[in-house]
Amino acid sequence: MSTRTSALDARIFGVDVQSGDVRGDAPSYALVVLDGESVERDVVTRRKLLRRIRSEEPAIVATDNTFELVADKAALVRFLRELPHATTLVQVTGDERPEPLSRVAARHGVPYAKPPMDEAEAAARLAARNVGYEVSAFTETTQVKVSRGRSTGGGGGWSEDRFTRRIHGSVKRAAREVESELQDAALEYEMEVTEKYGGYSRAVFQVEATPQELPVSARRSGDVRIEVERERRDGIEYRPLAKRRDHVIVGVDPGTTTAVALLDLDGQVLDVWSSRTADTAAVIEWIIEGGRPVLVAADVEPMPETVEKIRRSFDAAGWTPTRDLPVDGKLHRTREEAYDNDHERDALAAALYAFDDHEDQFGRIAERTPAQFDRGEVIARVVAGEESVEAVLADLTDDDEPEEESTEHDPRELSAEEKEIRRLESRVERLESHVEDLRETVERKDDRVEELEAELSTARREERREARERREVTRLERENDRLRREVAEAEEATEALEAKLERLKELWKLDHSNFADVNGEDRDLVAVKPVDQFTADAIEAAEKDYGLAPGDVVYLRDASGAGRATAELLAEREPRVVLRDGGLSEQADEVLFAHGVPVGPADDVAIREVDELAVARESDVEAVVDDWHDRAAERRRERTSDRLDQLISEHRARSPEES
């Protein structure tokens, strides 16, 4: 049984030729647009009709004959290829051998008249009732072709080999991107590549999906062209919109919200539906689309008037419980079924209890019904028409095999040929009965295949969703790892800064000896700031670690090798005194002396180092400074004496010449 379609709620185009001929001059068309309750009528050219179909994407384009739209089958295939993916072409009058539109309209109670606009409206209303055949020229397989976007005959300023290799490499990269996207979308495909110098000249994917389900689209950019095309069928296929309607059991729960449930004659739930706005006519229409009712059931006694009206409209048997069904009983009976609200539960419970009450009767009727007869038809006539199984079978047999005329002559003995004919006829009947059984089996299998295809489609969508979630999780994990690394680096930097802060605190304490935590013995201490080498880099490193300020005591662990520029750099810091290990160069010693920076040997001071810090006794430092001042004074006197001696010598040298 087909589930209820949404055709009544969708936009439908009904089309009929207004004037002209598709094989001659440009025809005009009568166009009727059904959109819910609204109806639009217009006369359009072929170009405007196609433009509206592409822009509005109706669910159905309905006509009484497809060859009023196109000239031949080749043109029909082109027309179907140009239709939007969501639009279906429907021929409401049948398949390859259509009936007259007037006959189809009369059979389904649709108003009909000869003018083209009325015929277009009749086609649209028939399609809205799920009448007609879908016209299809394509399978569910789509071909994606990745190929060269330009010729390899030359590349301008490129050499021909490099140009060809670049194009084939681009095609190969694009093919791998398409393959990756198909894998991410969990689509089944077969891939065939043609390898050429430097990569691929083309790659063809046969994908089990429609174009709208593909994660790739047709495009052309530079060296690569991607084409997307649905696979053609061998011919034109006509598929009925509505499948055969089977006999069903109907449960109805009327009220402000009306709910309806459908079961097949084996007690399997086919569909459940509820609506707050549907009237009795809409409920009956929904049931008609679902099947032919044998039983119409309610969950209360007596049967409500609305349910009775529905039952009479189908001339079906009614069922009610001996007393109103209790809520716990309905919950228990529907525990394994799916429903959306209490109204659907009550309708479903009524149908299931009705089936339970008639299950044995259905089984007995099925056992007594030969295979060549429709079991549902026999059950319907026995249950609803209160006929016996034998009477129904006899009536059906009479319909299939008219009674032979009676004769007063005695039956003669049949000839051998006549006996063979009788035998073959009997065999044909048995084979036809078997064929009918096989057809029913095929139909059931087709229904099952459709169910499995729907489940497969759902599973594929779920796989694609999970694949997207996995990609997002991977991205977030990478982002988390990056943030963790940044946090670790920040923690390391924080630890280094904290250690530096502690060292600076120690220096500050040493510089401010009035702190309570410095005992009396250590009040004679002064901070010493070590510099590993007498180089510009070492001075800048020390200044960065703990700062070099005017008045500091600087300790050069290696005073050798410094030039004038390095000495100038240290003198600019205006240290109180420079303690050195090793000897200073003449240039450095001269610069420091010129700037008045005291310099003395570190051996004269008892320096105590703790990690990167150092301390010395203030008295030792003052002694070095005093000693330097004494030596500086002596050095200045010596320089003054030397200059005087030089002046006297120069004067004596000039005196003889003057005399």
Task: Please tell me whether residues 236 and 252 are part of one structural domain.
Answer: no
Q: How confident is the model at residue 67 (pLDDT cuts 50, 70, 90)?
A: confident
- Write 17-20 long-range contacts (CB < 8 A, 24+): 17/68, 17/116, 18/43, 18/116, 18/117
pLDDT at 521: 46
Task: Please tell me whether residues 528 and 633 are part of one structural domain.
Answer: yes
As for how many domains the chain has, the answer is: 5
Last residue of a domain, one of 186, 210, 240: 240
Q: List beta partners, residue 227.
A: 145
Task: Please tell me whether residues 23 and 50 are part of one structural domain.
Answer: yes
The structure tokens listed for 333 are: 């009976």
More confident residue, 514 or 584: 584
Residue 69 lies in a domain: yes
Task: Please tell me whether residues 202 and 110 are part of one structural domain.
Answer: no
Task: Please tell me whether residues 447 and 561 are part of one structural domain.
Answer: no
Q: Which domain holds residue 295?
A: 247-376
Mapped onto helix, strand or coil, the DSSP state of residue 326 is coil
Residue 343 lies in a domain: yes
Task: Please tell me whether residues 251 and 371 are part of one structural domain.
Answer: yes
pLDDT digits (tens, 9 = 90+) for 159-182: 677 888 888 889 999 999 999 998
Q: How many angstroms separate the CA atoms of 107 and 130, rounded?
A: 13
* Angular region, 561: left φ>0, alpha ψ -120 to 50, beta rest: left
For helices 280-290 and 305-314, give the axis angle rounded to 10 degrees. 40
Residue 398 lies in a domain: no
Looking up residue 266, the CATH number of its domain turns out to be: 3.30.420.140
Residue 395 lies in a domain: no
Last residue of a domain, one of 183, 213, 240: 240
Q: How many CA atoms lie within 13 A of 549 on its CB side?
A: 8
Q: How confident is the model at residue 402 (pLDDT cuts 50, 70, 90)?
A: very low
Task: Please tell me whether residues 98 and 170 are part of one structural domain.
Answer: no
Task: Please tell me whether residues 236 and 251 are part of one structural domain.
Answer: no
pLDDT at 356: 92
Of 208-212, 263-267, 368-372, 614-618, the range with the highest mean pLDDT is: 263-267
| Of 438, 80, 95, 88, nearest in space to 240 by CA | 95
Stretch (H or E) spanning 655 = helix 618-658
Contact between 343 and 253 under an 8 Å Cβ cutoff? The reply is yes
Q: Buried b / exposed e across 291-300, counting CB within 10 Å, b at 16+?
A: bbbbbbbbbb
Looking up residue 158, the CATH number of its domain turns out to be: 3.30.70
Task: Please tell me whether residues 526 and 581 are part of one structural domain.
Answer: yes
Residue 513 lies in a domain: no
> Alpha carbon of 357 to those of 296, 301, 603: distances in Å?
13, 15, 116
Residue 155 has pLDDT above 70, yes or no: no
Task: Please tell me whether residues 474 and 526 are part of one structural domain.
Answer: no
The structure tokens listed for 77 are: 């295939």
Mean pLDDT calculated for residue range 424-430: 73
pLDDT at 6: 42
Task: Please tell me whether residues 346 and 257 are part of one structural domain.
Answer: yes
Residue 658 lies in a domain: no
Residue 407 lies in a domain: no
Contact between 256 and 276 under an 8 Å Cβ cutoff? The reply is yes
The residues near 609 (Cβ < 8 Å, ≥ 6 apart) are 530
Q: pTM of this prediction?
A: 0.39
Residue 510 lies in a domain: no
Mean pLDDT calculated for residue range 217-238: 83
Residue 528 has pLDDT above 80, yes or no: yes
Task: Please tell me whether residues 264 and 230 are part of one structural domain.
Answer: no
